[in-house]
Structure 1
Amino acid sequence: MTRLQQIEARMLEIRGLLEGDGEVNLDELETELRTLETEKKDLGARERRKAVAAGITAGDIETRHVDTFVPEHTPDPAKEARKAAEERGKALKENRSVTVGSSSVILPKHQASDIRPTFNEVSGLIDMVTHKPLLGGESFQQPYLKGYGIGDNTAEGADYATAEPVFGYADINKSKVTAYAEDSEEVQKLPAADYDAEVMKGVTIASRKKITREILIGDGATNHLAGIFSTAANAIDAATDKTISAIDETTLDEIVFSFGGDEDVEDVAVLILNKKDLKAFVTLRTDEGERVYDVKTNGNTGTIDGVPYIINSACKAISDTAVAAGQYSMAYGPLSNYMLTIFSDVDVQRSTDFKFKQGMIAHRSSVFVGGNVISKNGFLRVKKG
């Protein structure tokens, strides 16, 4: 098939799409149609110049189209191409029709041009902790103050009382967090909905999901963050952990007044908990049937009697009977007491090389981060009793 025949076949196919009932991108098809018409004119002009050079008059050219210069007894390739294009256009117009039962009734299968989102799967905790960019680094050590000494009464001529501040250090080492996904070139090019963009977006979300969970439950081992609930968060004294067996009318007060030093009640702190425990706060009633707690919700965050909270599914709910005693369920403290170090930018790439023969497209995301608690007893940890 010549290039001119290919152009005419494609133009016929586009006109079928424009006249059909299926969802199409009008701007793209009309632009392509104009481009093909221009190319067709250019090819026609070249054929005319060749014909003149071969001794064919301009009048002959006007009365005979260049793509019909074939013997009468042979099939016309252009006509066959147009017929094939009509059949393809009809198939596209029916939009992958399906036969219903054993009858011959054909129903078109329509597809939406958008993809409906799912529920939020990433806790906002990842965005609320302290961020420290250290691009190109591998580790970081953050000093913190454990406490001050106390003076003493001293006799005349005796040594002064020792009262030195005590310091500690939080070690933060890099962790490589990755995500990988594949789709086919059909998924990228053919559907009306942009599945490929969702796959590309998904690898970034997958990395964020992992990091926001590691902030709580990372064990601090090689290539892991030191989570708030981990023994690797050595800024927290395990003796300060609180044990609660059930959520009742005193639970919030127990948490708030158990956090912090001996001289103050902290007022800028956030309660991190499971959604099931938030429900337990909401549904708790007095004997008169009134709510015990005033809970205001706003998606992933909100307040309980004015105390800010944030939901994270990595917490093991106290109210869940399937959770064993001793599991960490909540954390309470200023979110600035946890540092997330950013050792590299998020790198998101697409490649067709790995499975080029199969027409598969690979998507990957990677980021180097680290994290640890950076303040002495920066969080009150709550266990299930």
Structure 2
Amino acid sequence: MKHEELVNMNMKDLKARLKEIGTQAQTAEGEALDALTTEAEDINGILQDIQNRANITRLAAQAGDNAGEGTPGEKGDDVKNKKREERGQSLKDGKTVQFNAKVAFGSVQNALSVTQAVTPKHTASDVKETFNDVSSLVDRVRAIPLNGGETYQRGYVKSYGDGAGSTAESADYSATEPTFGYVTMEKQKITAYTEEPEEMVKLPNADYDSVVEGSVTRAIRKYMNRQIMIGDGTSGKFKGIFHNPTKAADQVIDPAKDLSMKAITDETLDDIIYGYGGDEEVEDVAVLILNKKDLKAFAKLKDKQGRKFYTIVNHGNTGTIDGVPYVINSACKAVTDAQTSTAEYCMAYGPLSNYEMPIFSDIDARKSTDYKFKQGQIAYRADIFAGGAVAAYNGFIRVKRPEAGK
């Protein structure tokens, strides 16, 4: 649905549409899945706007309700009297209460001169987040839940055989045996840990504590995103798309198929698309993984008339280049960066389902106030057991920036 239609829907209908998108996404692929993702992100933004407006309305209503003087007296309707009653009942029940510091230490204010008067400070009710630093790649590769497992082995076809031919009478048939390969994915323990002083949770209004708590999970997802691309494949580690095992028999992607590029040109996208896949067809469900700098180079390229050569549609971390889906991942080097003394991988193109990521456990996130109780520190930790590797022979074509001088 278009944005104009979505903004005219109520919250109930938006949530129903979001649920419908979730169902459709189970079977959607390629551009259809990208469209559903974009619509879901749009709906989430609209729902957040609705919630923000509701919060503002609620705060305004509360301000209006508290503006009156109320009825004086110990049991009156005065707001202060009601708070006193609530605190008194809480104390009787053995609960912790808070008193206004100005009331408890009123003499401090009396000691201030006019020139020392403190002006009031106002604090926002939320924490403004920074730019997204987690690629959506981790959500789009093929995740396989295998709770409690240790390893996961995937078999794949390397060749269907090409030995068919004519045979003389009574002679042996032509041999056309397919060739298979296997890749093993071992579990890796990925962890994140952080601490914060207990004063953090007492800061006014904004929920700083939830931001710190969520950061450990975010850090794990960021690490997994990088490992999908550059995991070195050592014992118990991800085997990234850019990983080349020493033994040729273990290489799921043939390095001889890699493309070498020094710059983004008007032929770059065609070279990648037609360089991927078999000799008999052009693949149409593949995604380009690249650095944001190279996406910028695609966007800036112009034809002889000064018009943009590529049509780029951006949707945050994803989008399309002339209809070809892309996803940004900072683990990729940039073709447009200066050449170094060694060749470096910069882009990969292929169906994201060709990378499999077995998940051997859920993300276990915990909060503890006991570890450094004496220092008043709150600790957060999160961990997950997972692995990953390319699971199809030549499942991606890779673009490499050559070493300097070549």
Q: Name the TM tier (shorter chain).
A: 0.7 to 0.9
1:278 match:
295
- Amino acid in the other structure paired with 1:374: A
- Distance change (3 Å), C-alpha of 1:89 and 1:128: farther
Higher CA-based Rg:
1
TM-score normalised by structure 1 residue count: 0.76
Match for residue 319 of structure 1 among 329, 333, 336: 336
Of 167, 187, 195, 1:182 maps to 195
Q: Using the alignment, how far apart are the partners of 1:333 and 1:122 within structure 2? A: 21
* 1:1-385 aligned within 5 A: 33-38=84-89, 86-88=103-105, 104-150=116-162, 151-232=164-245, 234-321=251-338, 326-385=343-402
Cα distance in 1, alignment partners of residues 369 and 401 from structure 2: 49
CA–CA separation in structure 1 for the residues paired with 2:125 and 2:100: 29
**Partner amino acid, structure 1, of 2:123:** Q
How far is the alpha carbon of 1:192 from its aligned partner? 2.3
Contact 2:339 2:401 in 1 (8 A): no
Which whole-Å CA distance do the structure 2 matches of 1:202 and 1:99 have between them?
A: 44
State the SS of the aligned residue for 2:388. Answer: strand
Q: Identity of aligned pairs, percent?
A: 50
How far is 1:234 from its partner?
2.1
> What's the offset of the Cα at 1:33?
3.9
Question: Which residue pairs with 1:4 in the alignment?
Answer: none
Q: CA deviation at 1:36?
A: 3.1
Q: TM-score, normalised by structure 2?
A: 0.72
Match of 1:353, SS? strand
d(CA) in 1 for partners of 2:377, 2:233: 36
Computed over aligned residues only, the root mean square deviation of the Cα atoms, in angstroms, reads 2.9
CA-CA distance at 1:106 after TM superposition: 2.9
**Aligned residue pairs, count:** 315
Question: 1:186 is paired with a residue of what secondary structure?
Answer: helix
| Counterparts in 2 of 1:30 and 1:112: CA distance versus 1, 3 Å | farther
Deviations 1:116-165 (A, max 9, x none): 01111110100000010000001010001111112122222222121111
Q: Give the secondary structure class of the aligned counterpart of 1:351.
A: strand
Show CA shifts across 1:302-347 (max 9, x none): 1111111010011100012265651000000000000011000000
- Residues 1:252 and 1:325: Cα distance change in structure 2 (over 3 Å): farther
> Could you list the runs of 5+ residues in structure 1 that have no partner in the other structure?
1-17, 20-28, 44-81
Distance 2:195 2:383 in 1: 15
Give me the whole-angstrom Cα distance separating, in 1, the residues matched to 2:107 and 2:387: 57
The CA distance in 1 between the partners of 2:191 and 2:202, in whole Å, is 26
Distance 1:314 1:83, change over 3 A: closer
Question: 1:176 deviation in Å?
Answer: 0.8
What whole-Å deviation, never above 9, does each CA across 1:75-106 have from its counterpart, x for those lacking one?
xxxxxxx9987244687x99xxx999xx6353
Displacement, 1:31?
Answer: 8.1
Structure 1 letter corresponding to 2:87: L
Amino acid corresponding to residue 289 of structure 1 in structure 2: G
Relative distance call for 1:315 and 1:38 in structure 2 (3 A) is closer
Secondary structure in 2 aligned to 1:367? strand
